[in-house]
Amino acid sequence: SLVSMQGHSSSRKMAAQRVQRIQQHVLAGDAAISGGVEMRATSSAEDSDFDSRVKAMQAWMDSERFKYTTRPYTAKDVVKMQGTFPLNFTSAKLS
């Protein structure tokens, strides 16, 4: 029937889009495809730094000041969003 053929065509199109998205993600690791940005795996030093930052964030979140605060996210989620570039504010150091 026409309805089942349209449904089949639609599911084929969706599957093709999924395959294309996966290919784009795989190819994004290639510097020629990703605009010259080389995607590299993290080193063990980066992993240990991340883990220590998560522990410090968890300690801060568990401090007495926040004992009645509930959060829908974890310390790991916060550290993931922070990035790795250290921020130093001169005005904060001066005050």
Q: What is the 3-state secondary structure (H, E, C) of the chain?
A: CHHHHHHHHHHHHHHHHHHHHHHHHHHCCCCCCCCCCCCCCCCHHHHHHHHHHHHHHHHHHCCHHHCCCCCCCCHHHHHHHHCCCCCCCHHHHHC
Mean pLDDT per 10-residue segment, the chain (95 residues): 57 84 67 55 79 94 94 93 74 68
Give CA–CA dist 53/44, Å, rounded.
Answer: 14
This prediction's pTM = 0.48
pLDDT at 36: 54
pLDDT at 3: 47
